[in-house]
Amino acid sequence: MEVLIGKKAPSFSVNAVINGGEFVEDFSLEQFIGKKHVLLLFYPKDFTFVCPTELHAFQAKLSQFEERNVAVVGISTDTEQSHWGWLQVPKEQGGIKGITYPLIADIDKTISSNFGTLAGEYDYDEEGRLISEGNMFAYRGLFLIDKEGVVQHQIINNFPLGRSTDEALRMVDALQFFEENGEVCPADWHKGDAALKDNHESVAEYLANS
């Protein structure tokens, strides 16, 4: 799996469901460049068990992400029709009704592959298309992408391990604090804590000279 930290997030333009039930075509992260940070949230599959707990958890904290000018975007290898169907099912029945942030349909699994979250056995044909040797789903990947489209944070969990919304918010706070103040954030840093002065002109220079 390729580590994407410090690199431009792979581009894509696909179908999605937004605002809890509206179909859109050509959904792309390009719309956020120069405007918002993005939290891209991969999950394995619609109509499952752990996934709705995560999707609802991020919805419950959505206002806190929006206050920080962060767009939350969900994505799985299901179709947009599957997303829409699941959005019609109430939370009490295992559905995700009430989710308002976009849900992307990575039908050909290319996005999951490019972000290094794709599970399963697969290869590519001569035209660069994925060839599956079984079911392929996305691991629980989370990517924090800055306003320039560069990946600043990534984690990938196996299927049984749900993610933390509080940790995602902490990473957003840390990144934005560094962007605004040029100070770096030590272990377990939280908003309001003291940070550390960065005495190097750039991280790249520091790494080159270390």
3-state DSSP assignment of residue 159: coil
CB within 8 Å of 105: residues ≥ 6 apart: 14, 15, 16, 17, 76, 78, 79, 80, 82, 83
Query: Any idea what the Cα angle at residue 70 is, between residues 68 and 75, rounded to 5°?
Result: 150
The structure's pTM equals: 0.88
Q: What are the extents of the domains in the chain? A: 14-161, 164-210
Confidence at residue 126, expressed as pLDDT on a 0 to 100 scale: 76
Confidence at residue 210, expressed as pLDDT on a 0 to 100 scale: 44
Q: What is the mean pLDDT of each run of 10 residues along the chain (210 residues)?
A: 90 97 97 98 96 98 98 97 98 97 95 92 71 79 98 96 97 95 90 79 50
Out of 51, 144, 171, 174, which one is annotated catalytic?
51
Strand ranges (E), the chain? 14-18, 22-27, 37-42, 70-76, 103-105, 118-119, 122-124, 130-132, 137-138, 140-145, 151-157, 183-184, 196-197
Give domain 14-161's CATH architecture.
3-Layer(aba) Sandwich (3.40)
Confidence at residue 132, expressed as pLDDT on a 0 to 100 scale: 63
Active site residue 185: no
